[in-house]
Amino acid sequence: MPEFLTDWARLTWNMIYESSLLLLLGFMLAGIIRALITPSALNSFFGRGRFTQIFTASLIGVPLPLCSCSVLPVAAQLRRSGLSREGTVSFLISTPETGVDSIALSYRLLGPVFAIIRPLAALFTALVSGMVTRVLMPEDTSHSELPLMPQSSETGPKLHTRLWEGQVYVATDMLPELSYYLFWGYLLAGLAAAAIPADLLQSGLASWMQYAGVILVSLPVYVCATSSTPLAAVLLSLGIMPGAVLTFMLVGPATNLTSLMVQKKILGLKGTVIMTASIIFCAVVCGLLVDNFLAGSIKWFNTDAVDSGEGTLVWYDLAAGIVFAFMMAYFTLRHYYRKAKRKFKG
């Protein structure tokens, strides 16, 4: 038991360490978006049509180097600014599944063809998931469970004032609200990572077991698009089918228990379930297409290229991890304190 608790704490900290810097930058970007993107600007940028918003959100998300956690505050602010539910789903999927950094690393570790397939599969997944959300969960008058915030007027305060107000809003409203869900999400993701057997994805498994295995591993555990690439190379070296590896790289960065808890806050439970099921379905379809049409003719893996970068400790990542860990703990304790205070007063 002590060893399990140690692994749980270590894996939870590793997830916080790897994602905190980008997550903090994501919150800053959310404040900038709040200052710049008013409802009218949102319509002109993303378009008014539902499919136009889905396509634009999917396309914009492909090159952005944001992970499944750091994309959350950005998506939440876009949602509050008036982006449709299906557009928000598409953005939440295409953004963490790939980025310019992960595409470049895919080219180096997995070859040029895989570097092309990966962003195309991410775009396909985002488009299909957005359309499925549109069909199964039509937009209503209530944009989300999150309250809509008043937008800055385009003819109101000057730009620097709106930018400052956006950062104040994030620090006093969005960050305290989402920190509670991130705190428990990290703990649950670390628990899942510690509980899942390390040898679950051994080579020699039947194809359906390989697909089921990568989904079981990648669904609850945090892994960003960049860090999933060397892991994908390792899986390929173990004999895992290329399609199953692609499924891992699509499902892993787009889903984890941390992001799922916050997505429920942004999209609602039904929207989160639809989004997650769509991701898994599209990832498996893309993987099966790769295995049936491309796997035999592509040099997928070079064992000399594997380098996960483990053991390197970057001071700014460490500082961001410590700062954000304290912030999550503080806002979570404040949440329970206020809840208890209201209960005793009642």
Q: State residue 149's pLDDT score.
A: 41
Spatial contact of 127 and 97, defined as CB atoms under 8 Å apart: no
In a 13 Å sphere around the CA of 53, the CA atoms on its Cβ side amount to 24
Coil, helix or strand for 25?
Answer: helix
Q: Are 272 and 263 in contact (CB under 8 A)?
A: yes
- Reported as a single tens digit per residue, the pLDDT across 257-280 is 778 888 888 888 898 999 999 999
Taking a C-beta distance cutoff of 8 angstroms, is the pair 256, 185 a contact? yes
What's residue 16's pLDDT? 81
Distance (Å, whole) CA 333 – CA 328:
8
Least confident of 77-86, 93-102, 193-202: 193-202
Amino acid at 97: E
- Mean pLDDT over the full length of the chain: 78
pLDDT tens across 140-174, in order?
544 444 443 444 444 567 888 888 888 888 888 77
